[in-house]
Structure 1
Amino acid sequence: MAGLVGEYEVKLDAKGRFLFPAGLRKQLPPVSPNDFMLNKGFEDCLTLYPLVEWERISEKLSKMNLFKPKNRMFYRLFHQGAKQVSLDNAGRVLIPSTHVERVGIKQDVMLIAYNDRIEIWDKAKYFALIEENMVDFADLADEVMGDLNDGIE
């Protein structure tokens, strides 16, 4: 998979479903394009992994030494609340109410696709986070990209 990309604005209906955007759907891997794993993201969002990507990550994580307390804790936290979800016949994804409540998602939602995952954010929270961090973006780019420059400017 080349990598997912894009921002998509969607709305949750009364049952907690959103219509999966066609532009994003075209980017999904052809193997099992309707199946995903949903779990809590690293910030105040949810993360939706195409099932094939979740399996790839799980394979890597299965090699962790679970006799180390920090590894066990990471493994627990990463998998905490994970739930398999699928597109329904209308192309919608149902987000369980426990997940919606966990990160405070309202009706207006942003889907942020990058690399192998799609983050699901409450729209207001997402834009507040971006605005808050935009001031430091140049410093963050320098720190993160550092010696990787290779002509990227």
Structure 2
Amino acid sequence: MFMGEYRHNIDDKGRIIMPAKFREKLGTVCIVTRGLDHCLFVYSEQEWGNLESKLNNLPLMKSDARAFTRFFFSGAAECEWDKQGRANLPVNLREYAQLAKECVVIGAGSRVEIWSRERWEEYYRQSEESFGDIAEKLSDFDIDF
């Protein structure tokens, strides 16, 4: 499980350092794709395979299923870590997440997320205000805090 929040910068070549704890769990190759809320989702190859199986079982005749799988898979890219623990993020993914310099890398359970610092701070501020309401809604899924 991935957890925690880390601050890192993207260099001029589009590379970001992944925290060592995350790299160990992600393995030498990971999959990066467009995430929800204009961040990037990062998966280990194993977790990507699990997710890929689930998405491939969505009904092809449902337009929402087709749209989501197109969005998700078309943005996916394999990334490898260099000796300094950096991965080069493709331009299209950096543009989607508006990653320029300062980034926030967070653990989100089965995946890692990469956010622009500005977007993360705005998202966090808005979510913090409604955290109690969100937690209450999750009780419908048999999750108690």
Q: TM-score, normalised by structure 2?
A: 0.90
- 8 A Cα contact 1:6 1:24, kept in partner: no
Pick aligned residue for 2:109 from 115, 122, 125: 115
Q: In the superposition, relative to structure 1, how do residues 73 and 21 fare at CA in structure 2: closer, same or farther (>3 Å)?
A: same
Residue 93 (1) aligns with residue 87 (2):
yes
CA distance in 2, matches of 1:147, 1:98: 35
Find the partner of 2:9 among 8, 11, 20. Answer: 11
Provide the rounded CA distance (Å) in 2 between the counterparts of 1:146 and 1:72. 28
The runs of at least 4 consecutive aligned structure 1 residues that moved more than 2 Å come to: 23-26, 67-70, 145-149
Return the alpha-carbon distance in structure 1 between the equivalents of residues 131 and 19 of structure 2: 28
Distance 2:134 2:38 in 1: 20
The partner residue of 1:70 within 47, 64, 68 is 64
Is structure 2 residue 55 aligned with structure 1 residue 61?
A: yes
Pick the structure with greater CA Rg.
1
Identity of paired residues, percent? Answer: 27
What is the total number of aligned residue pairs between the two structures? 145
**TM-score between the two structures when normalised by the length of structure 1:** 0.86
Instruction: Indicate conservation of the 8 Å contact 1:111/1:121, yes or no.
Output: yes
Q: What are structure 2's unaligned runs of at least 5 residues?
A: none
1:37 is aligned to: 31
Give the one of 18, 21, 24 matched to 2:22: 24
